[in-house]
Amino acid sequence: MQTIDMAKVDLREVNSTLHAQKDDTNQTSWEIVNPKGSHAIAVGLDAPIEVTVRGSTGYYCGGMNKQATINVEGSVGPGAAENMMSGAIIVEGDASQYAGATGHGGLLVIKGNASSRCGISMKGIDIVVHGDIGHMSAFMAQSGNLVVCGDAGDALGDSCYEARLFVRGSVKSLGADCEKKEMRPEHLEILKDLLERASSDAKPEEFNRYGSARNLYNFDVDNAGAY
């Protein structure tokens, strides 16, 4: 394992070193020690490497990730996994607001709680939160899966499109054009796979599914008050 000590190396050098790794690299395992809550750690990676951050980070940890697996042994600030394309990010602690925002692919696992706007405008990413999520989560979520093993705050799924939202606990309120939907066998299979990949012992049958009522896809003056 290659070790980068942020007590000795600045952020620019950390990310430059990781960016230099390519598909055929033989240095596939990295650890970052003494992150000291730094912002933008391990952003823009594009190689099949594994990076372990031993501590908590600031905003945008793992943003724009492609291929890499990033493990954070702590909590993350706002915008973790923002615009992620592929790979995986596993957070052992909590996540601040808009985790997984605009994510196109890959898997984000948050083993603690996530704050507001988790999964905002998600575009194909899979997000599994072992704890609770805050208000306005999955706002304008377009595709992908958001799995919440705890409770959800106000306005879940406001103005969402075709993302699937699975919540095990209670939902404080649903956002505009979001409704409870039927849980079919294919959804149970999706949930089973995601829960296994996220190392959660929750049962798919314990969840409810929510999604778009599809009334706001096209402007209709009769629905103007809901916009």
pLDDT in tens, 71-95: 999 999 999 999 999 999 999 999 9
- Whole-prediction pTM: 0.94
Cβ-in-10-Å burial (0-12, 13-18, 19+) of 195 comes to buried
Residues 102-124: what's their mean pLDDT? 98
Q: Where are the domains of the chain?
A: 2-217
Question: 90 in helix, strand or coil?
Answer: strand
Q: Which whole-number Å values give the CA distances from 98 to 20, 103, 117, 222, in the listed order?
A: 28, 11, 5, 31
Answer yes or no: CATH 2.60.40 is held by domain 2-217: no
| Spatial separation of the C-alpha atoms in residues 127 and 116, rounded to whole Å | 14
Helix (H) or strand (E) holding 212: strand 208-212
What pLDDT sits at residue 24? 83
pLDDT in tens, 168-194: 999 999 999 999 999 999 999 999 999
Q: For residues 153 and 134, is the Cβ–Cβ distance under 8 A?
A: yes
Give the confidence band of 122 by pLDDT, cuts at 50, 70, 90: very high
pLDDT in tens, 13-63: 999 999 999 888 888 999 999 999 999 999 999 999 999 999 999 999 999
Is the pLDDT at 222 greater than 80? The verdict is no
Residue type, 144: G
What pLDDT sits at residue 202? 97
